[in-house]
Structure 1
Amino acid sequence: MAMEYDGATQVNEQTMCLCGRIAAMRTAWTENNPGRRFLGCSYYGRPDACDYFKWVDLPLLHPRYKSVINGLLRNDNREDVLEKKWQRIVFYHRIVLVIVMLVVVLVYYVL
């Protein structure tokens, strides 16, 4: 995606790609273009897709913008990881609690 914004992109429902299909609006989430929108072939990823690509948004003008957006994306992913770890800890604590309760019940009825 090394193409540059030409400043004249007209966005509407009828923007056509090179193979005659209506181009799809997508959002880039790469390190260099986080959150930047572009038009591309609606069949992207399929063998019959063309190479149509055109930026809709201007490039991020200040390097700090990229840094902030990428940092927020990393923080969001980190929160997901921490939430999964917390759920796993809670699950294991519940298993331990059930095992302790079973041992207590068995000891009570055996003695």
Structure 2
Amino acid sequence: MAMENNGATQVNEQTMCMCGRIAAMRTAWMENNQGRRFLGCSFYSRPDACDYFKWVDPPLLHPRYKSVINGLLRNDNREDVLEKKLQRIVFYHRIVLAMVVLVVVLVHYVLW
């Protein structure tokens, strides 16, 4: 079972939710608790889930911590957006290249 220690919870593999299953470790991303881990019901978001919830990490008390986490999340999101843009550009370049090859082949057959 879980034990309290300086505001954090020590967790072993047998922490159970009220459903009788091993509780799932998750990470909160809401503004007030970003990056903070908690234990919750394994059936979270299902109608038969129990209401088991227990924080594993202590609250982030210093505002700088929240600012750093927000910045990291923004950077991660920017990288995802840039990666998708790059994939889209590569896709369009491949389409244009295929069309050029098709035109060259058609012109070759028409002129010969």
Normalising by structure 2, what TM-score?
Answer: 0.76
Q: Please name the residue that 2:73 is paired with.
A: 73
Q: Please name the residue that 2:3 is paired with.
A: none
Q: Please name the residue that 2:55 is paired with.
A: 55
Q: Please name the residue that 2:35 is paired with.
A: 35
Q: Structure 2 unaligned runs (5+)?
A: 1-5
Q: Please name the residue that 1:22 is paired with.
A: 22
CA RMSD of aligned residues (A): 2.2
Normalising by structure 1, what TM-score?
Answer: 0.77
- The amino acid across from 2:56 in the alignment is V
> RCO (CA 8 Å, sep 6+): is it higher in 1 or 2?
1
Q: Structure 1 unaligned runs (5+)?
A: 1-5
Q: Please name the residue that 1:44 is paired with.
A: 44
Q: Please name the residue that 2:97 is paired with.
A: 97
Q: Which secondary structure state, in structure 1, belongs to the residue aligned with residue 39 of structure 2? A: strand
- The amino acid across from 1:77 in the alignment is N
CA 104–47 in structure 1, closer or farther in 2 if over 3 Å, else same? closer
CA distance, structure 2, for counterparts of residue 99 and residue 34 of structure 1: 48
CA distance, structure 2, for counterparts of residue 58 and residue 16 of structure 1: 20
Q: Please name the residue that 1:3 is paired with.
A: none
- Alignment deviations for residues 58-88 of structure 1 (CA, whole Å, 9 cap, x no partner): 1112112112112211211221121111111
- Alignment deviations for residues 33-78 of structure 1 (CA, whole Å, 9 cap, x no partner): 1221111122222222221111110111211211211221121122
